[in-house]
Amino acid sequence: KLRDEASVTTAMGNILYDIGEKNELMWNTTASFYNLAYFHYSEFNYMAVDITTGPWWAGRRAILKVPFGHTEAEYASDRLSHTYHMDPNYEYYFSQYFSLKGLYSYGDTAYYPRRNSGLNNIRHRFELTPSIYLADRKHILSATTGYENSNADADKDSYHGIYYAFSYFTRFPTNTEFFLRYQWTRKKYDGKALPGYNWDRIDQRDGFIAVLSQEFLEYFFTSFAFNYTDNQSNCELYDFDRITYTINVGCKF
């Protein structure tokens, strides 16, 4: 097993503009930057830049968002891939205590090195998420059911699968927030994982994340996150588990 420390740099900006009547037709644009730099294993460094824009339609009980964008990624300081994506979603609030959200996500990813062209893929994802709001939204409970299909140029990298997730969020009077999420995923790949294997690869993954964050001095925040992933496969080469601890300090304005 490998162990290392890394620095993580993130930045995000958002502009929401009213086009028509206030809070009815709006246009939202978001830009984000993520950079993960390991202190020892720099061959695993990762960076991604994303720009997303699109209209929002907000009603009294519902909101429709149709964002589309472009992501550029680097791995080990080399250009890795670029993705064009569209993620329309609709959420309806039946009452102050309950909402239902549907999402469809489309992504078209191309890898730069020709030797990795088998990874080029088109991905479709469908999600349905009911949420319960309690105590004036101080407590939020959500459950997600999803299906994902990724068609890659190489069969061994194409898969389809289902996932289920449960999350809990709460906010305390001290401006302290706590978030908890568990996700179970099962993926069935279309081809043999490796030469000599007579069966298609199937992976089952458990993921768990917990985040505790605190706001201070109006514009600043700090957080501690614990992330655990356990991947079990019928091809032992793809078995792994990973634990990540993250301490974050930032500002927002």
> What is the pLDDT, as a whole number, of residue 22?
65
Mean pLDDT of the 190-200 span: 78
Mean pLDDT of the 237-245 span: 93
> What is the pLDDT, as a whole number, of residue 4?
86
pTM value is 0.90
**Average pLDDT score over the chain:** 93
Using DSSP's 3-state secondary structure scheme, residue 38 falls into: strand
H or E element that contains 138? none
Cα distance between residue 128 and residue 144, in whole Å = 6
- Render pLDDT for 39-74 as a digit per residue (tens, 0 to 9): 998 889 999 999 999 999 998 899 999 999 999 999
Of 113 and 223, more confident: 223
* In the block, residue with structure tokens 């960076």: 47
> What is the pLDDT, as a whole number, of residue 23?
63
DSSP for residue 237: G
Torsion angle of C-alpha atoms 87, 161, 166, 56, degrees rounded to 10? 10
DSSP for residue 5: -
Mean pLDDT of the 69-97 span: 95
DSSP per-residue codes, 84-121: EEE--EEEEEEETTEEEEEEEEEEEEEESSGGGGGG-E
Which range is most confident: 19-23, 53-57, 248-252? 53-57
